[in-house]
């Protein structure tokens, strides 16, 4: 039996912009008030600096507990709070970082985000601008697609108006359809400008059934900030109509019951033309149920032959094919040799021919290669595999041949190689690049991509990287590895050492005046260092949201210079006042210069 799922994204254009940038409607976060810190919290479960929570020490006191229970008992039953809000710690609470799977199929809709300023997208239609899409809050205020922007601005002066980008919306749907073909079903197609068709015939059991697949699909869209509605029916037309005009976020229509499900919907759900919709309203045909008993001849004369065909497609009387999205095939160049070869020179000559054929294919597609895999079929039936990668998309045959030359010794031809294949497993768009240098009078920026590829071919790709910042105050967490040609931004303004040790190394024999003076002497790796200058401290608190052991942790960092001119970056665990912040041990974390 044919089963088709229709994925409907009602606010695709608006939510795509919400994902790209932070909404302007959200107010700026206010700084948290500085609360007094209890230096001796004892056994209380309250976080340091305030922030009382249910189950803390005040909720366990008998008098306070009794007073609260008396107040609750005086309230009506429907106004009484649950016991968890009264501070009872024995009751199991939901895990804060794991959401339970929704059991009700009608409720797993995306959590709505309240935006203070309504947003609409405008597009040019003739000589005026009209609303192409509106957020839920704007539609609540009466702003609908097709309304003039001037009228909408007159109704809501502080309306957030953005230009509509139909091409970006279509690109997002195309990417989603390609993802569906690769992970969900082999047959998927874009349906209109706000949804997809997914052919689930024979593949629903691979996802745990139709109901579970719909729940997973809605949660998948929710993670990307998209509101989704899914309907599964036996025809694409019925699934498309019920997903957009139905009431449930997830709807499963049993086979053969499409007519009963479509009966209460308006004729516009059948994807009729605007003229046919107006004609249906003029003749008093307000529901699809009104169209079902009418003869086909008079109905075709009133609404058109295309409208009758849409009705038959939705009911399954006429097949409606789905034109699937075909993923881009991997470019492959192949050479079948007349005689087996086994020398390095012959292999390199065939590789050069394969590269020439591959570059012609990539040039026609406007792409450049990032990863190439060479497959060599030997006479004994085994296959040799050799792969190279580039830091940037390229179609330079000489450069790619040089990369294969660096690894040619890894090939074992055996008794001979009879077939060689070259596959571009990763390709990226490659267009024209701006010319700099003598023609423009500017200094030409050196291109190190070729050098990076050659070094990676000798020492390995993992040995080449650059550093990128991470939003963290803890130094060992504030840097991550990035691709060698990346240009990371967002570096902090404060000074950090050039070399940061993978793990802080302990220091011994440290002489320092507590609590804020830098050390005057320390021993590192058996060598005594006498400090002649120092600066600090720079206090860094632990990230309590990562580990419970960092709730009270404190590090005081110092920059010091010894009598030989060497400069070090070291820290002391603890603030020198509260014993809970650290044991006052010293560690070396980095070196300057």
The H-or-E segment that residue 585 falls in is none
Predicted confidence (pLDDT) per residue in 38-51, tens digit: 444 444 443 444 33
pLDDT of amino acid 36: 42
Give the C-alpha distances (Å, rounded to integers) separating 43 from 47, 419, 482: 11, 74, 44
Can you read off the two tokens belonging to residue 27?
């107010």
Could you tell me if 39 and 578 are in contact, meaning their C-beta atoms sit under 8 angstroms apart?
Answer: yes
User: In the predicted model, what is the mean pLDDT of the chain?
Assistant: 82
Give the C-alpha distances (Å, rounded to integers) separating 239 from 220, 251, 311: 20, 9, 13
Three-state secondary structure call for residue 432: coil
**Where in the chain are the domains?**
332-429, 494-592
pLDDT of amino acid 473: 84
Give the C-alpha distances (Å, rounded to integers) separating 101 from 98, 105, 106, 224, 401: 9, 10, 13, 17, 52
Task: Count Cα atoms within 13 angstroms, Cβ side, for 13.
Answer: 22
Q: Supply the DSSP string of 67-105, one letter for each residue.
A: HHHHHHHTS-GGGPPPGGGGT-SSS----TT-PPPP--T
In the predicted model, is pLDDT for residue 433 greater than 80?
Answer: no
Predicted confidence (pLDDT) per residue in 312-354, tens digit: 999 988 888 888 888 878 899 999 998 999 899 999 999 999 9
pLDDT confidence tier of residue 372, bands split at 50, 70 and 90: very high
pLDDT confidence tier of residue 104, bands split at 50, 70 and 90: very low
pLDDT of amino acid 52: 36
In the predicted model, is pLDDT for residue 139 greater than 50?
Answer: yes
- Among residues 514, 519, 474, the alpha carbon closest in space to that of 492 is found at 474
Q: Looking up tokens 């608190």, which residue turns up?
A: 541
CA distance 552 to 575: 10
What does the pLDDT average to over 388-413? 90
Predicted confidence (pLDDT) per residue in 237-267, tens digit: 999 999 999 888 999 999 888 899 999 999 9
CA distance 299 to 319: 20
Contacts of 357 (CB under 8 A, 6+ apart): 333, 422
CA distance 589 to 587: 6
CA distance 572 to 39: 20
pLDDT confidence tier of residue 434, bands split at 50, 70 and 90: low
Could you tell me if 134 and 14 are in contact, meaning their C-beta atoms sit under 8 angstroms apart?
Answer: yes
Highest mean pLDDT among 431-435, 542-546, 583-587 belongs to 583-587
CA distance 451 to 128: 54
Predicted confidence (pLDDT) per residue in 19-78, tens digit: 876 544 334 444 444 444 444 444 444 344 433 334 434 444 455 566 767 777 777 665
CA distance 56 to 59: 6
What does the pLDDT average to over 496-519? 89
CATH fold group of domain 332-429: Dna Ligase; domain 1 (3.30.1490)
Strand 527-541 and strand 521-524: the pairing is antiparallel
pLDDT confidence tier of residue 79, bands split at 50, 70 and 90: low
pLDDT of amino acid 112: 44
Could you tell me if 195 and 8 are in contact, meaning their C-beta atoms sit under 8 angstroms apart?
Answer: yes
Angle at 317 between CA 314 and CA 231, to 5 degrees: 30
In the predicted model, is pLDDT for residue 578 greater than 90?
Answer: no
Predicted confidence (pLDDT) per residue in 272-300, tens digit: 988 998 998 888 888 898 888 888 888 88
pLDDT confidence tier of residue 101, bands split at 50, 70 and 90: very low
């Amino acid at each position: 039996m044919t089963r088709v799922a229709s994925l409907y994204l009602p606010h695709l254009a608006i939510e795509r912009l919400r994902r790209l940038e932070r909404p302007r409607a959200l107010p700026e976060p206010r700084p948290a008030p500085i609360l007094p810190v209890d230096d001796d919290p004892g056994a209380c479960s309250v976080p340091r600096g305030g922030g009382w929570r249910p189950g803390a020490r005040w909720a366990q006191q008998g008098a306070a507990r009794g007073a609260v229970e008396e107040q609750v008992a005086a309230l009506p039953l429907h106004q009484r709070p649950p016991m968890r809000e009264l501070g009872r710690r024995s009751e199991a609470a939901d895990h804060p970082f794991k959401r339970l799977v929704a059991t009700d199929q009608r409720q797993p809709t995306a959590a709505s985000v309240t935006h203070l300023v309504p947003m609409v997208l405008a597009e040019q239609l003739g000589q005026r601008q009209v609303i192409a899409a509106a957020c839920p809050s704007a539609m609540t205020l009466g702003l609908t697609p097709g309304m003039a922007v001037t009228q909408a601005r007159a109704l809501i002066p502080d309306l957030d108006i953005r230009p509509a980008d139909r091409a970006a919306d279509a690109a997002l749907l195309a990417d989603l359809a390609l993802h569906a073909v690769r992970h969900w079903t082999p047959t998927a197609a874009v349906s209109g400008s706000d949804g997809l068709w997914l052919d689930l015939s024979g593949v629903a059991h691979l996802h745990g059934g139709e109901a579970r697949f719909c729940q997973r699909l809605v949660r998948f869209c929710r993670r990307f900030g998209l509101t989704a509605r899914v309907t599964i029916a036996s025809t694409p037309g019925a699934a498309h109509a019920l997903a957009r005009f139905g009431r449930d976020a997830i709807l499963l229509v049993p086979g053969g019951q499409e007519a009963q499900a479509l009966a209460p919907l308006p004729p516009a759900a059948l994807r009729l033309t605007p003229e046919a919709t107006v004609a249906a309203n003029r003749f008093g045909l307000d529901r699809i149920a009104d169209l079902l008993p009418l003869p086909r001849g008079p109905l075709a004369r009133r609404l058109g032959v295309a409208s009758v065909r849409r009705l038959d497609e939705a009911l399954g009387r006429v097949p409606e094919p789905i034109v699937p999205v075909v993923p881009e095939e991997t470019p492959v160049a192949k050479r079948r040799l007349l005689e087996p070869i086994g020398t390095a020179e012959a292999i390199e000559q065939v590789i050069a021919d394969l590269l020439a054929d591959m570059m012609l294919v990539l040039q026609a597609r406007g792409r450049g290669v990032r990863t190439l895999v060479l497959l060599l079929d030997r006479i004994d039936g085994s296959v040799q595999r050799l792969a190279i990668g580039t830091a940037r998309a390229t179609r330079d045959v000489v450069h790619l041949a040089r990369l294969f030359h660096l690894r040619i010794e890894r090939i074992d031809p055996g008794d001979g190689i009879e077939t060689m294949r070259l596959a571009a497993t990763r390709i990226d768009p490659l267009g024209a690049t701006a010319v700099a240098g003598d023609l423009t009078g500017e200094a030409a920026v050196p291109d190190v991509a070729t050098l990076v590829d050659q070094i990676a071919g000798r020492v390995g790709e993992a040995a080449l990287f650059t550093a990128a910042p991470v939003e963290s105050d803890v130094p060992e967490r504030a840097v991550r590895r990035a691709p060698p040609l990346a240009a990371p931004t967002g570096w902090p303004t404060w000074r950090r050492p050039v070399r940061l040790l993978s793990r802080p190394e302990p220091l011994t024999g440290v002489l320092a005046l507590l609590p804020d003076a830098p050390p005057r002497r320390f021993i590192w790796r058996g060598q005594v260092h006498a400090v002649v200058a120092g600066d600090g401290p720079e206090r860094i608190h632990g990230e309590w949201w990562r580990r419970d052991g960092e709730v009270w942790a404190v590090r005081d960092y110092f920059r010091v210079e010894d009598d030989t001119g060497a400069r070090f970056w070291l820290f002391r665990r603890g603030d020198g006042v509260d014993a809970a912040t650290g044991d006052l041990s010293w560690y070396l974390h980095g070196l300057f210069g």
